[in-house]
Structure 1
């Protein structure tokens, strides 16, 4: 016996399961994921305190690289700010590099996948930038933009 409504339900359920596999942790679509990851409140606040407005454009990465690293005096703040810097870097890459997209690992850690298939652990890049000053955010963006 066939129930047409069951076929429609199964189709929606299968689609939801496929999205959940791609975006674990309850984030159902790429736009929502990008919005959540692009908040970076600590970084945006620190940048604003230093007179820099972050507009999600590639040039803002170079401006961030020029800020005096006052946060390095506090290891906890450096780690948190670095995480935000990595997410901001990822947001700029996803918004401006063709074919780039956010992906989540099973444990919920975000990374950026480029059209070439290359994966960037932007959170780790951001933490290195905040604690050591290298690599520069602009450099990582430039390399991602080249493919």
Structure 2
């Protein structure tokens, strides 16, 4: 049985790639700098006296902060997103062979030299909401050889 409108209904259009994917393809270093900004995270932790200097030591300091960001449910996901991007930035800048990769849906991940992908944003969100896994622990696992 041939019903023409069903053919169109069954065909699902391919999702268009995120603008971040196109930007990453053109300028990976520029996108890496953009991902490293983490403005909300930097502003909140600076007020708590923690300096984010893109080192593993700063991840340990973040893990020790009282989770006051959980008091604002609207800010919590943005804070967690920034925490994940900061985690990724530290890994990319300090672990040899680590680099950013942007999935077609626009989600950034860190790819290690071994090919292992680390979903840093997911880890950052989980850390912001529950405190686990600790950011310094995720870094330590990524830095292992």
TM-score bracket for the superposition, by shorter chain length = 0.7 to 0.9
What is the aligned counterpart of 1:109 among 107, 110, 125?
107
Kindly indicate whether residue 18 of structure 2 is the aligned counterpart of residue 25 of structure 1: no
1:54-133 matches, within 5 Å, as 54-133=52-131
Count of residues paired in the alignment? 126
Structure 1: unaligned runs, 5 residues or longer: 1-19
Cα separation, 1, equivalents of 2:90 and 2:77: 20
TM-score by length of 1: 0.82
Q: Is the 8 A contact 1:54 1:60 kept in 2?
A: yes
Deviation at 1:26, TM superposition (A): 2.0
TM-score, length of structure 2 as denominator length: 0.83
Query: Segments of 4+ in structure 1 off by > 6 A?
Result: none
Contact 1:65–1:136 (CA under 8 A) maintained in structure 2 = yes
Gaps of 5+ in 2: 1-16
Q: What's the C-alpha RMSD, in Å, of the aligned pairs?
A: 1.4
Shift of 1:81: 0.3
Alignment deviations for residues 48-78 of structure 1 (CA, whole Å, 9 cap, x no partner): 1101111111110000000110011222211
Where 1:24 maps in the other structure, the secondary structure is helix
